[in-house]
Amino acid sequence: MESSLTPTPHSVKRWQLRGTDFDPQQVCSLRSQTFSSWTPLNHRSSNLQLFEERMTLVLHWFDLWTDGQRKRLLHALLARCTKSQLKCCRDLLNETVPVTQVDFTAVLPRFLSLYVMSFLSPRDLCTAAQVSWHWRVLAEQDCLWAGRCIRRGWFLPYTPGEREFGAWKNHYIACVSKLDWLTPREAAEQYGTLNQQSTGETEEEEERRKERRIRQMIRDKLKEEKSLSMRTRRPWGSYTKPEGARGGSTQTWRPSTGVTFSSRPSLSWPPRTVVSPSLSLSLERGEAMSASQSLQRVQASSSNRPALPSTVSPIRLPPPALLLLISNRIPAYELVLSGVKAGVIVVLYDHRGTLSALLTQVERAISGQSTQRLGLLAPGGTEEIHLLLNSTLSERTLLTPDHREFWEKLCGWVAPTEEGGGIDIFSPLGASAAGVALIHTLSTLTGLEVRAPMGFATGSFQNILSEWSDGSVCTGLSEQQPAAPPLQFVCESVLQGWCRQARWMEEALGELRGSLGPQLQRAGLLARSRALGHFLGEKICLEELCVSKDLNEALTEGLTALTRREESRPLEFLATFLTRWSEEEGGEEASKEEKWGNREADFSFAPHSSQKRSGRIPALPQTVLDWRGAVARELHHSECIYLRRLGAVLKVYQEPLTAALNSNRAILSCTDLHIVLSPVKHILELNRVFQVDLQARLQQWGAEQCVGDVFVKLCSKLRVYTNYLNNYTTALRTIDKCRETKPPFRAFLRRADRTLATHMLSLQELLLCPLWRIQEYVTLLQALSFHTRPDHPDHTHLCSALNTLLQFREFMQKLKRNSERDELLEETQQMIQGCPKLSEGNRQLMITQDAALLRSPDEQIPDSLRTFEYVSDVGLFLFNDALVLTQRNVHHTPFTLAHRSTHTFLASVALSCLAVREITHTRYVRHAFVLEGPRRSWVCATERGEEREYFLSVLRSAVKSALTGHQ
């Protein structure tokens, strides 16, 4: 008992107590005072005193320890600190040891230090090498000096050794020090001068003086004509001088000096023709010359020039360029234009024009040179191409005289097939029988190879990135899969980005064109969020990462093993455990594959173990003629994405709103909730059954496998989609109304919209998914039915389902047109002040046109001699039964270039009582026409002739239709 009560030293190691300051009695007293089992937590003063005494003892021990022991104590203390305590330590260290003037080469990685030094000049690098040995090693690296030497054509005469240092720097210094610098006089003596006297100097000087005299005469003549034209009245709206303004015979040919503006600029770059100065002067003077005279002038001017040296190589003609026709109706065509490759002639044409105008624009762009291939990027589907607004290219319209003449002339500028010529149409014509027939007919008509996408990729314009067909692939004559032709015209990165996000870019650019400035940030954010949601939802598959059973099992086992052991470094132990777990799993899978390899070889395909665990459809064998399998895989893949988006609607929106309604804290009422989200639930239930049936068929895929009956089963329940479409407009209006009137719902949408769970889409965008899916079903069914033999057991069901979906698509497009018509009428009603009600009967807006209202002082004078004066700007709104005239006022915003237009109602005339009369171009008026009503008439004029022709053609057609319906 006595030995147990004998005082022993504290837990401090004995060898530390052998110092000169060790006092056993003092330690015992301190131990009895501080290390008591009782701690006065409730008594503040005693607790503070006890803390001070213990801290004094620890500091006393800290003074007795070595440097290594002190560092171990600090490491243990910092490992136990929280984030706030570590921040406090950081602040104290910054105050004690401030970080200023740090050597960046000692802090940054080596490659970053070299990257910073790469911006220095050679002189600065030599200065930096004198800072320290470390800086000298960095400043003399070969990667900094090799590029400077190679750019100047200085190459090392030998190969540096492995341990040789600074070879390129020494070579640079040696080359710079040996440069030969000559004064201008020495250079002239050695190499000669460029301004030596030539034999024909006198003739050239005389020719220049003559040209100067002729130019001065032309300037004087133009000055006299300008002073004369200021005294006379110019015709209103004319931007070019009339033909007889300068005098002279009317039979003499004169080049037009005015600038002609088309409705839209043509992005084409025709080669320029070099004309001699004398020939250009004769053209400016307006002299009439024959072809032989002009040729003699060109030869004479060329003979006076000094001959070129014999060392100059002859000029080689460039290879035939590629011609790309782009319609301005495609979305985000600006992005496509930015990615066009070099050597491609681009013609951006207006879809409202005519075939002859397009042919003229192409002829002006190519300037007589032949093209290798012709590309056409215009809106279209699987059966036809919307080449122009009033001209659709299909199998039925191709053989009409207008289209036949257009394609024969256009393809006459394309190289023949033997030289690699052909036509590339960026529309999925290879997905349907009518499209393939159009390809064959066009190929027969033009004698060229015609290629088009197969249409296996779903989405807006994504079929361009799919397989391409030239007609022979569809008939089984070709054994090789054709490459993607669009990459010859447009860069791959730009084309992929545009194809995958064309619809979203169209919306973003539409808003940008409508209102610049504040809308730019919001539209860009929407486009980026949709692209991010597409990538996270379809590429990374966040749902599968969150619910992976293998990962959960491995983490559970690792944490269980970690709790059984006391590890000082738990993260390293867990990483080692997971590595061993993956190796064991890989060994088990390898043994299973070896064991069952012979058995799996008997099947047509063997799914990977990871695919079995994830439940994905295994990859089918890709053969040359297995197009049905490719379409089936794309159908199943897109169906899974479609179901995930519909499931996000129920999970993110319906479940929280229903839970809030059941807990008497309703965000939406039961009626509003039923209107908005109930139809989505019915569609999700229907398509889940469709996806399960489709997956079962793909698990047992073969040449005779059928999927048409699954589509027929889906088409028999399309009433669910019909109810959804009829309720779609009401659902959107309900969402807008509740968002404006109910702050809790507005806050809920702000939290739920554009999150990872909704694939970065809003509720309104998710409700558009069923409408997009119907169009995707039609495209995929067309491809599937086309590549199914007529005697195949699945052909009848596929044709039946395709016809049903085509009729349903027409119904959907009709609803869309009616909605757009009503919205356009509502916008027009709000735009025109004082306008009567426009939404009556079956009225729809056809076209709007800005014009100028003119007035004649004396209406008895003939039109050819009558003068007109400008009154005001007017707006012409043409409906299918009436014409509305408004007064247009333009208001400019101060300090900016922006402006806005307002319209005030003037008059309305029924088309059945309206007469139209054109006014011939005269000296006083251009692009004018007369609108005669029952009581009064209006004289209007447009800025360009193309606008007048287009408006009058639509107006006459509408008047004719109104008279026919009235009779």
Q: What is the DSSP string of 423-444?
A: EEE-S-GGGSHHHHHHHHHHHH
Per-residue b or e along 901-926, where b marks 16 or more CB atoms closer than 10 Å to that residue's CB = eebeebebbebebbeeeebebbbbbb
Mean pLDDT computed over 434-452: 87
The larger pLDDT score, comparing residue 857 to residue 531, is at 857
Count of other CB atoms within 10 angstroms of residue 161? 8
> What phi and psi, each to the nearest 5 degrees, are found at residue 379?
-60, 140
Q: Is the pLDDT of residue 334 over 50?
A: yes
Q: Are strands 385-388 and 869-879 parallel, antiparallel or unpaired?
A: unpaired
> 10 pLDDT band (50/70/90 cuts)?
very low
Q: Which residues contact 225 (CB under 8 A, 6 or more apart)?
A: 245, 246
Assign 127 a pLDDT band (cuts: 50, 70, 90): very high
Q: Are the CB atoms for 608 and 618 separated by under 8 Å?
A: yes
Residue by residue, DSSP assigns 406-418 as HHHHHHTTB--GG
Query: What confidence tier does 210 reach under pLDDT thresholds 50, 70, 90?
Result: confident
Give me the pLDDT at residue 26, please. 52
Q: What is the DSSP letter of 538?
A: I
Pick the most confident of 43-52, 70-79, 551-560, 888-897: 70-79
* 897 — pLDDT class (breaks 50, 70, 90): low
Contact at 8 Å (CB) between 242 and 256? no
Most confident of 97-101, 490-494, 527-531, 589-593: 490-494
Amino acid occupying residue 934? P
Exposed (0-12), middle (13-18) or buried (19+): which is 217, by Cβ within 10 Å? exposed
pLDDT at 531 over 60: yes
Q: Are 189 and 168 in contact (CB under 8 A)?
A: no
The one-letter code for the residue type at 412 is: G
Closest CA to 452 of 399, 382, 502: 382
Is the pLDDT score of 635 beyond 50?
yes
Whether 448 has a pLDDT exceeding 60, the answer reads: yes
DSSP structure class, residue 667? S
**What confidence score (pLDDT) does residue 192 get?**
53
Q: What is the pLDDT confidence band of residue 125, given thresholds at 50, 70 and 90? A: very high
pLDDT at 886 over 90: yes
pLDDT for the residue 139? 93
pTM: 0.47
pLDDT at res. 90? 86
Query: What CA–CA distance (Å, rounded) separates 622 from 30?
Result: 84
- Decide: helix, strand or coil at residue 858: coil
pLDDT at residue 740 greater than cutoff 60: yes
The whole-number pLDDT of residue 66 equals: 92
Q: Give the pLDDT of residue 967.
A: 58
- The secondary structure of 700-745, three-state, reads CCCCCCCCHHHHHHHHCCCHHHHHHHHHHHHHHHHHHHHHHHCHHH
Q: For 460-484, what is each residue's pLDDT tens digit?
A: 677 787 778 764 433 333 333 445 6
Question: Average pLDDT of 452-457?
Answer: 77
Q: Residue 595, class by beta-carbon neighbours within 10 Å (0-12 exposed, 13-18 middle, 19+ buried)?
A: exposed
Which pLDDT value is given to residue 470? 60
Most confident range (mean pLDDT) of 9-13, 328-332, 633-637 is 633-637
Structure-model confidence comparison of residues 111 and 248, the more confident one? 111
588 vs 604, residue with greater confidence: 588
Split at pLDDT 50, 70, 90, the class of 94 is confident
Q: What is the pLDDT of residue 3?
A: 40
Confidence grade of residue 605 (pLDDT, cut at 50, 70, 90): very low
- What integer best gives the mean pLDDT of the chain? 75
- Count of residues in the chain: 967
Q: What is the pLDDT of residue 280?
A: 36
Task: Please write the tens of the pLDDT for every residue from 818-827.
Answer: 888 888 888 8
Please count the helices (runs of H) and the strands (runs of E) in the chain.
36, 16
Q: In angstroms, what CA-CA distances link 698 with 636, 686, 703, 919?
A: 9, 19, 11, 69
pLDDT of the residue at 324: 92
Residue 599's pLDDT is: 37
Ramachandran class of 455: left when φ > 0, alpha when ψ lies in -120 to 50, beta otherwise: left
Q: Which residues contact 4 (CB under 8 A, 6 or more apart)?
A: none
What is the reported pLDDT for 33? 46
Query: What does the block give as tokens for 476?
Result: 């089984």
What average pLDDT does the segment 841-853 reach? Answer: 88
Q: How confident is the model at residue 623 (pLDDT cuts 50, 70, 90)?
A: very low
Q: Tell whether the model's pLDDT for residue 97 goes beyond 80.
A: no
Rg of the chain (C-alpha set): 41
Kind and range of the H or E run holding 498: helix 492-500
pLDDT band at residue 756 using 50, 70 and 90 as cut-offs: confident
Q: What is the pLDDT of residue 721?
A: 92
The amino acid that residue 894 corresponds to is P
- Would you state the pLDDT for residue 339? 87
> What percent of the chain stands above pLDDT 70?
69
In sequence order, which ranges of 312-400 are alpha helices (DSSP H)?
333-338, 355-366
Of residues 377, 270, 269, the one with CA closest to residue 333: 377
Beta strand segments in 573-648, E: none
Q: Which is more confidently placed, 232 or 159?
A: 159
Residue that wins the pLDDT comparison between 192 and 654: 654
Q: How far apart are CA 548 and CA 556, in angstroms?
A: 12
Whether 249 has a pLDDT exceeding 60, the answer reads: no
